[in-house]
Structure formats: structure tokens, C-alpha cells
Amino acid sequence: MRAKYFIFVLPMLIFACNPKGKTDTQTAKRMKTSDMEVVVIRLRPEQDLKKELENFVSEHQIQAGILLTCVGSLQKTHLRLANQPEGTSFEGKQEIVSLVGTLGVSGSHLHLSISDSTGKTIGGHLLEGCLVYTTAEIAIGILPQLRFERELDSISTYKELTIHKP
């Protein structure tokens, strides 16, 4: 049986920002950490990209994670495009050219960019319904010294990232 993921420990310097309603860069916090776990997972055909990431975060109780990289392909894509209230579906084979975001058991925020056979690239907020075509190779950085929360921001009116030390 093949391993589903591998864990690496890397030295890292973390910059965290917890603005609490402030808009300047003076609120950035510098935290030095001696470890960040890097987990590499591979999704297989027909798996749902968002559901599998959420399951992984929940199963491993990840309090603060960041997507480091993702490559692969999709056979169906579902994104919420910029400033749109609903998702848009794209049929057909697409290359994953980028997947970025923050992960945590209290909520994640993920953006996906895909490219078709002509090189046309589009991106948006990752929604359920993105089905893997051949593979999705994903590296996740786990930050054990932090806890990500999603709290209502009075300015944006959305639940936004807040960063805490456990």
C-alpha cells in the first residue's frame, strides 16, 4: 500500500498579521518558529478537491495551515468568480496552475487557477465540485504554533482570517 502523505519538518520564519480592524502594516507580528510540518498528499481521479482538503484538515485537526503548492488536473471545475454571488462550472479537462490559501478547522479560504488546452487561464474561489482528472499533488504547511480563526469583519462584512497563538 502506498503512503497517502509524507511529513517533513523545516525551519521557518513566520510573519502573521492580526489586524483587529486596523488597516496599516504596523499590525504585522513576527514570530520565529523552529518547525513547520509539510504534508504532501496526492488525490486520485474523481476525488473532489475541496472536500478532500476539508476532510484532511478535519481528520488531522489542523488549526493553521497554508497551501504551499498544488499541481494536477481537473475534469470538472466549480469556482466562484470575483464579485459573483454564485459559482460557475467549467466542463472539460483543465490543468491546475495554482491553488493557494489558508486552512483550518474553523474555516478555510482557497483560490484556484486553471488553464485549458489553449492556455486560457481563469481563477476564483474554490467550491465543491472540482473533480480530479488524473492527479492533484498538494503540499500543505502546518503551523503548530498558530491557530487560524474566521471572525466577522465589520468593514468587509465577511468572516475574515484572524491569527492566534494557542
Neighbouring residues of 113: CB distance < 8 A, sequence distance ≥ 6: 96, 97, 98, 99, 121, 122, 123
Sorted by where each starts, the structural domains of the chain and their CATH numbers stand as 35-164 (3.30.1330.80)
Q: Tell me which of 7-16, 59-68, 76-85, 131-140 is least confident.
A: 7-16
pLDDT in tens, 25-63: 434 445 555 589 999 999 999 999 999 999 999 999 999
Per-residue pLDDT at 34? 54
pLDDT in tens, 95-148: 999 999 999 999 999 999 999 999 999 999 999 999 999 999 999 999 999 999
pTM of the model: 0.81
For every residue of 27-71, DSSP letters joined together read GEEEEEEEEEEEEEEEE-TT-BHHHHHHHHHHHTT-SSEEEEEEE
Per-residue pLDDT at 30? 53
Beta bridge partners of residue 53, listed in sequence order: none
Per-residue pLDDT at 166? 76
Residue 7 to residue 17: CA distance in whole angstroms: 26
Per-residue pLDDT at 48? 98
